[in-house]
Amino acid sequence: MEIASEEVFGPVLSVMDFEKSEEAVEMANKSNYGLACGLWSRNVRKALWIANKINAGTVWINDYHLISAAAPRGGFGNSGIGRELGREGIYEFTESRHIFVSDEDNDILDLSFGLVVSD
């Protein structure tokens, strides 16, 4: 179905049959988008297993659209760029760097994480 492969906004629910959980994960991950998804199940353990396999920025289990400022928000694939909210959202506004200082002349200066650095 086209609705299952596009990024649709609004109160929309598409329902598809599947035999095994792996098949449901495969169907969900065929989309180029992965902003969010909702799972409903009486078996929360199995729902958690599925949630960890689905490529989506947010996965709700037995609920939908609960949002917390402490939780990062953003999608996978073609759904958005980066993250907002949460620690990951703050990281979007930072730049990390590494400063390495050695005052000894030794062979380790020529080798960094298995990569040979040439002069």
The vertex-103 CA angle with 101 and 108, nearest 5°, equals 75
Picking from 84, 100, 101, the residue whose alpha carbon sits closest to that of residue 92 is: 84
Res. 110 pLDDT band, cuts 50 70 90: low
Question: Residues 62, 52: contact at Cβ < 8 Å?
Answer: no
pLDDT at 38: 87
Q: Which residues contact 104 (CB under 8 A, 6 or more apart)?
A: none
Q: Provide the residue type at 22 as one letter.
A: E
Across 79-83, average pLDDT: 72
Range of the domain at 104: 2-116
pLDDT digits (tens, 9 = 90+) for 22-57: 998 998 888 888 888 888 999 999 999 999 999 988
Domain count, the chain: 1
Picking from 84, 83, 74, 88, the residue whose alpha carbon sits closest to that of residue 33 is: 74
